[in-house]
Amino acid sequence: MEPNIQTVVSIEKLSLDFMTLDGREQVLRDVDLHISAGEIVGLVGESGCGKSATAKLLLGVLPMPPARITGGRVTMFGHDIAKLGWQQREALKR
């Protein structure tokens, strides 16, 4: 990635679990993704591989709980989204 291109979304070593009636289910493990300004990205993969969970996490609509980030970091425009409230996340999308 060129240093002068702004990174909009950065996912580093993301691990995500869902709590179910049967216990804990790991949905994502050590996921890395970087999206720069102007890029168009598609998430592809087999059914159940975590595409929707990743997209919902980025949109801020993944219910926590039952979802829980167990490792890694997700940033938007350099802000760690785990430390932001709903209104702050909405402001970043604009």
- Give the pLDDT of residue 92: 67
In a domain? residue 73: yes
Peptide linkage before 3 cis (omega within 30 of 0): no
Name the band, by pLDDT with cuts 50, 70 and 90, for residue 81.
confident
In a domain? residue 59: yes
Q: Which domain holds residue 21?
A: 7-93
Model confidence, pTM: 0.76
pLDDT digits (tens, 9 = 90+) for 19-35: 989 999 999 999 999 99
Name every residue whose Cβ is closer than 8 Å to that of residue 57 and which is 6 or more positions away in sequence. Answer: 16, 67, 69, 74
What tokens were used for 51?
A: 């595409």
Least confident of 10-24, 27-41, 80-94: 80-94
pLDDT digits (tens, 9 = 90+) for 29-69: 999 999 999 999 999 999 989 999 999 888 888 888 899 99
Distances (CA, A) of 44 to 23, 47, 49, 52, 84: 27, 9, 9, 10, 28
In a domain? residue 37: yes
In a domain? residue 86: yes
In a domain? residue 43: yes
Residue 64: CATH number of its domain: 3.40.50.300
